Structure 1
Amino acid sequence: MHVWLNGEYRTAENAFVPVTDRGFLLGDGFFETMRAHRGNVAWLHAHMERLAAHANVIGLPSNLLPSASDVAGIIAKLCKQADLTRAVVRMSVSRGSGPRGLLPPAPPTPTVLITVALFSPTLPSDGLNLITAQKIRRNPWSVAGTIKSLNYLDNIVAKQEAHQAGGDDALILSVDGSVAETTIANLFGIKDGVLWTPDASTGILCGLARTFVINCAKANRIETRFDSHTPGQLADMDMMFTANALQGLRPVATLDGKAICTNRPPQDIFVKLAQMVEGNLCNGI
């Protein structure tokens, strides 16, 4: 396996990060996952814009990141080296090495790592079984929660909790008990032809797939609402599904062991949105 680390192509076995790196010591950094088809990355410029936004949030000059054109070239070469037609790409950025303490070095020298791996799509018909996380809540004031922070402990603990309960993923609530998102995806519901998704104020990470779905709904004159919902209210949805930039849209089959109204799914709306998302991801637009 080959990777790109700080300007050099290396084998994974020969790629090292210093023990003084703040990403390792403090989780001081962020990452982005992308989907590539034949070396072309879907939504690349949007991914790069989000990486720059994450950098600005933590006070890391975004001009220290590779350009979108450079990243495109790096990913294409890595996919070719690995002989991957479909790949999941991860770009990880830490603030780099620094002295002891919380304050970052000035100026920083970030560590940038790009890796590719085989992407195995999940069948859209495979419904998710969600378990409501009891240990974790989304915090609207948390910096780490609203960017793809290198510190992913909240998501890891929630995923473990769901796994131990026999679920595929965890439904995470906001601090006020309202529905927020899953560990890796944004959540949507459909009720009487109206699309619903939690508002950004719940502390969610607003993903690229979420934005795409909302824009598609608007273009197709499908009303979208962002009001607060409790987990109990989700059982009355005609359908629920998740959205992320790797797996696209996936229906939710059960929540805490109870079926989500599968007797009357609004397949026309879901299928239309899913096809639009998948078409963009496969074509690397």
Structure 2
Amino acid sequence: MYMYLNGQIIPEEEAVISVFDHGFMYGLGLFETIRVYDGHPFLLDDHLHRLNEGLQEMNIEKSFGREEIVSVIQYLLEKNDIKNAYIRWNVSAGNGMIGLQTDQYIAPNTIVYIKPLPKAEGIMEKTGQIVTIPRNTPEGAFRLKSHHFFNNILAKREIGTDMTIEGIFLTNEGYLAEGITSNLFWVINGMLYTPSLRTGILNGITRQFILSLAENMGIVIKEGMFPLDILADAEEVFVTNSIQEIIPIKRIDTYGYKGLKGTIASVFHKEYRKYSNQLWSVKELGGIKE
């Protein structure tokens, strides 16, 4: 496969960066995972907004616009002869001396990974499992999609390699938080519930899409600090992320749900597919974002 590194399209085996990159030394880096549907990078503007906001928070002198990103993605798609793809747009702080740096990073490394995905078709189903390790708190004012993933790795070790299981975090106080690689939703009496950003979760791009879609459909949305036992009353549970889309959950520990038979998750999935090869931003839907 060919990938992108600092302005060049190169074979992946030729991609190298310095061992003095502070993304490697201190975890100062961010990434976005973007799914491309038949050549279209879905909700790209929202990914860029989150990325640029995070770069500013990390004091990395870099920002990206749609035209630049689309040009790179299209080139990678053509060079690798694929139309449907997983894109990881990664920005690492760049080189520095040994020791913590307070000055702005002015020469970050931009690395774009790509791998082919099958054409989007059916909806998948998973089982949820509450993990014992609590979700760590954000290191700053809000959670960044950063290189700091050890909390997620520890949770993944608990559930193992089975791809049909999604681990679900609780906060240290016992509130429902998010999946290891996803945001969490559930339905009670036709109302849509999801943990608040105040729990320290990532404000996922697909999460934002679902909230806007739900408001447009007239579905009551409840965001808050919810204990685990609220899931005993749920009829549907599903998780979301930008690559796996909307994934119904059929069971979490001893609680059973509708899974693939869930009405609201199915409607959301159909709407998601309707827009996946055309929308650039959640704003095109209207609705809300927390």
Alignment TM-score, normalising by the size of structure 1:
0.91
Query: Hey, what's the Cα distance between the residues in 2 that align with 1:122 and 1:162?
Result: 26
Instruction: Report what 1:262 is aligned to.
Output: 258
1:187 aligns with 2:184: yes
Gaps of 5+ in 2: 281-290
Instruction: Report what 1:204 is aligned to.
Output: 201
Instruction: Report what 1:128 is aligned to.
Output: 126
Instruction: Report what 1:275 is aligned to.
Output: 270
Report if aligned partners of 1:137, 1:173 keep a CA contact under 8 Å in 2: yes
Give CA-to-partner distance per residue, 1:5-53, whole Å, 9 cap, x none.
Answer: 0111111111101111111111111100001123321111111111101
Query: Hey, what's the Cα distance between the residues in 2 that align with 1:55 and 1:22?
Result: 14
1:90 aligns with 2:88: yes
Which AA in structure 2 matches 1:260?
Answer: G
Instruction: Report what 2:99 is aligned to.
Output: 101
Which AA in structure 2 matches 1:279?
Answer: K
Give CA-to-partner distance per residue, 1:219-244, whole Å, 9 cap, x none.
Answer: 11110001322222212201000111
Query: Hey, what's the Cα distance between the residues in 1 that align with 2:146 and 2:176?
Result: 21
1:114 aligns with 2:112: yes
Q: CA RMSD of the aligned region, Å?
A: 2.3
Distance 1:166 1:112, change over 3 A: closer
Instruction: Report what 1:74 is aligned to.
Output: 72
Give the paired residue count: 280
Report the secondary structure of 2:218's partner residue: coil
Report if aligned partners of 1:3, 1:11 keep a CA contact under 8 Å in 2: yes
Distance 1:182 1:120, change over 3 A: farther
TM-superposed deviation, 1:121 = 6.9
Alignment TM-score, normalising by the size of structure 2:
0.89
Instruction: Report what 2:41 is aligned to.
Output: 41
What is the percentage of aligned positions where both structures have the same residue? 25
1:152 aligns with 2:168: no
Gaps of 5+ in 1: none
Report if aligned partners of 2:3, 2:10 keep a CA contact under 8 Å in 1: yes
Give CA-to-partner distance per residue, 1:157-189, whole Å, 9 cap, x none.
Answer: 111111279961210111211000001111000
Distance 1:227 1:246, change over 3 A: same
Give CA-to-partner distance per residue, 1:45-64, whole Å, 9 cap, x none.
Answer: 11111110111222223xx2
